Chain A
Amino acid sequence: MDFIHFFFLSALLFVIGVGGVVLNRTNIVVVLMSLELSLLAVSLNFIIFSVCLSDLIGQIFAIFILIVAACESSIGLAIILVYFRVRGSIRIDQASLLKS
């Protein structure tokens, strides 16, 4: 089986996720979504490697990453919520209070 295509796929997903984080300048929820995407790409990578190398540890890691991603997105959404309550907006380009 040619694993290299799966690796390319996960790498492409990761790059898309990172690109979404970096290039997005308005909506912070999209940033969170892109982060989820890159985390998914990472866990996909782990699973592909565990199959490729016949090692279960990769799949265990993928489960842990899912758990961490869930926690992270819930906390992140909570922070966004609190932020929205205070500012009334979730635009990233307006969140530049901590300038040099």
Chain B
Amino acid sequence: MYLNIVFLPLLGSIIAGFFGRFVGVYGSCFITVFCVGLTFCLSCLSFYEVGLAGSGTYLSLMTWLESDSFYVEWAFCFDSLTVVMLIVVTFISTLVHIYSTEYMGGDPHLPRFVSYLSLFTFFMLILVTADNFVQMFVGWEGVGLCSYLLINFWFTRIQANKAAIKAMIVNRIGDFGLALGIFAIFICFGALDYATVFAFSPQLTSCTLSFLNIKFKALDLIGVLLFIGAVGKSAQLGLHTWLPDAMEGPTPVSALIHAATMVTAGVFLLARCSPLLEYCSGALLLISVVGGMTAFFAATTALVQNDLKRVIAYSTCSQLGYMVFACGLSNYSVAVFHLANHAFFKALLFLSAGSVIHAVGDEQDMRKMGGLRRLLPFTYAMMVIGSLALMGMPFLTGFYSKDVILEIAYATYSIPAHFSYWLGSLAAFCTAFYSIRLIALCFLVEPNGSRKLLLSASEGGKAIGFVLGLLAIPSIFVGYFSRDLFIGLGTHFWGSSLFCLPSNLSLIDAEFMSTFSKMLPLCLSIVGGALSFTLYRYYNYNMYFWKTSLVGRKFYTFLSRKWFFDKIYNGFISQNILDFGYHFTYKSIDRGLIESLGPFGLSNVLTSQVQQARVWHSGYLYHYLVIFVWGNLLFGLWFLFGFPSLRIGVLLLFSILWLTL
């Protein structure tokens, strides 16, 4: 059963990918949906067995790499953390599969699409079930690869190509950090399986490691390097630029990437390495600060985005920032809880957005929508549920995890924690603002789209409705039902899969916060939402003047250009690296040094020398005789006196011959 969980999606992917031509569109859709659905059922069973009944499972298949003390095997480890991820991944994946069968219905490459989706799921399952870092890295890279294939699914569009390459490369930067982290782990621990590494991490607190000739505390270095991997995959500040561009792929892909699979891998990595990270106090500090800044940055940027999917993409980035700083504050269980909740409502949001886009003829610009409330009532309802859950409105899913994250940030008495708390609270305000703005612009304001499109706008079919309806249920209830299980005080659920040093425990402190600070994020959210609603519903025309005023324009440009991150990256980093690559490595080294010394230079020198040497063959007998006599003479001289070395003799011979002619 446990192996089937991992390998069934692969089976579906292979059948749909290699034999999609034979089994047909319906056949491949059916097979992949069946395989992933079965995986979901088995995941539920494993959740019961491992999570609720508390019998963790470990499966060792075979040895993979063995070289002296380097020993890696194919092994699967199912503990509480894994099964939570399994449930999330397979549930969202199944629904995305079902959704795609209708959403991508007219596409001629549907078998390829579902094959990639299943492969994506498979690699994500490899990632979460891995028992060692190397196997985890297989999943990690596989997920990146599949994201490339899926973002680039409509490979004839240049924007999709660019976005996919960007996603791949920016991820690769993080992967490089992760790989270095894995090397560092092997240097320090001599092993790469989780059990050994985590068991020995308390012993290595005083160990140092030299990196770039600077001595670091080994554990801090490992923590930071692992975090760099998480930064790339989870789109934290610095390497976040790929995530909004990844919107170029089909909408179900965005849902899968943003909700359940790809971006959650970074948070999963942090949670998985909790026994290690707990001893890296420096790395934790960095993690919490970067997470807080990401949450704030993405939330403010989302305020002014006009692309429907980009708004949701930035909200993903922002929510991931929350999870990451929860990890940085050692509350891994809260982070994973928010991850699970976020997966549900983010999938709902994305798939609803897909439904909207589908209805208005693939128009993604929110300024050209409006008034869809009457046309798409069901999607509207779903979008409202998703947005309210995202805003953390009371008693919806997001409320239970997001407020806890902010509470523990407030309750941890350190500067980075409070820094994160304030940024997180402001981000909560922005989250509410842009969520309501999205709803207002799409559904509430006067219709702005073309008449033809609005007339033909209608709800999606059965599959889309089914998926949205099914996602709405956990988006409303899962936080309430699983709160005590996941983050209730003294819960046994996590067992040994997550670890928190007693000195870092702040969940209890959070119980003794003042009511004001507890209520603050919620109040900010409500104020933000109400402000946004009022502005976009009643003062829509005044907004225009504010935007075009001097200060407003500067502010608006700053936000809509994403804090100029892309501009800075392109101007100072990408362009310089490209220039370096073209002017130095290509023109100077490849075309210059190597070619002019190597093939071309050598042959040029040889041919020119040979041209000169050909003059000697003049055809005149007496010329030949002169050479002959001089040669004999030198040969005789050589025998009589000898030369210091043969080479000098030959050189002399040639130079004398040269002079004679």
**Residues in chain A near residue B617, CB distance under 8 A:** 98-100
Contact A23 B622 (CB under 8 A): yes
* Contact mask for chain A residues 77-94; partner B; CB cutoff 8 A; 1 contact, 0 none: 000000000000000110
CA distance A98 to B621 in the complex (A): 10
CA distance A95 to B617 in the complex (A): 13
**Residues in chain A near residue B620, CB distance under 8 A:** 92-93, 95-96
B625 at interface by CB-CB < 8 Å: yes
A97 at interface by CB-CB < 8 Å: yes
Cross-chain contact of A21 among B615, B616, B619, B625 (Cβ < 8 A):
B625
B614 at interface by CB-CB < 8 Å: yes
B626 at interface by CB-CB < 8 Å: yes
Interface centre among B614, B621, B625, B626 (most CB of A within 10 A): B621
Contact B618 A95 (CB under 8 A): no
Cross-chain contact of B619 among A23, A25, A31, A99 (Cβ < 8 A):
A99
**Residues in chain A near residue B614, CB distance under 8 A:** 100
A22 at interface by CB-CB < 8 Å: yes
Interface members, chain B 521-542 (any A CB < 8 Å)? none
Contact A22 B619 (CB under 8 A): no
**Residues in chain A near residue B621, CB distance under 8 A:** 31, 92, 95
- Number of B positions contacting A (CB below 8 A): 12
Cross-chain contact of B622 among A22, A97, A100 (Cβ < 8 A):
A22
Interface members, chain A 1-21 (any B CB < 8 Å)? 18, 21
Cross-chain contact of A92 among B618, B622, B626, B629 (Cβ < 8 A):
B622
CA distance A18 to B619 in the complex (A): 19
Contact A97 B625 (CB under 8 A): no
**Residues in chain B near residue A31, CB distance under 8 A:** 621
Interface members, chain B 339-357 (any A CB < 8 Å)? none
Contact B618 A22 (CB under 8 A): no
CA distance A22 to B628 in the complex (A): 10
A59 at interface by CB-CB < 8 Å: no
Contact B629 A96 (CB under 8 A): no
Closest B residue, CB atoms, query A28: B621
Contact B622 A25 (CB under 8 A): yes
Contact A100 B615 (CB under 8 A): yes
CA distance A93 to B625 in the complex (A): 13
A24 at interface by CB-CB < 8 Å: yes
- Nearest CB of A to B608, in Å: 15
**Residues in chain B near residue A24, CB distance under 8 A:** 622
Q: Given known contacts A92-B620, A93-B620, is B625 in contact with A22 (CB within 8 Å)?
A: yes
Contact B618 A99 (CB under 8 A): yes
Interface members, chain B 561-618 (any A CB < 8 Å)? 614-618
CA distance A18 to B629 in the complex (A): 8
* Contact mask for chain A residues 14-55; partner B; CB cutoff 8 A; 1 contact, 0 none: 000010011111000001000000000000000000000000
23 A-B pairs with CB atoms under 8 Å apart are A22-B622, A22-B625, A22-B629, A23-B622, A25-B622, A31-B621, A92-B620, A92-B621, A92-B622, A93-B620, A95-B620, A95-B621, A96-B618, A96-B619, A96-B620, A97-B619, A98-B619, A99-B618, A99-B619, A100-B614, A100-B615, A100-B618, A100-B619
Give the A-binding residues of B (Cβ under 8 A): 614-622, 625-626, 629
Give the B-binding residues of A (Cβ under 8 A): 18, 21-25, 31, 92-93, 95-100
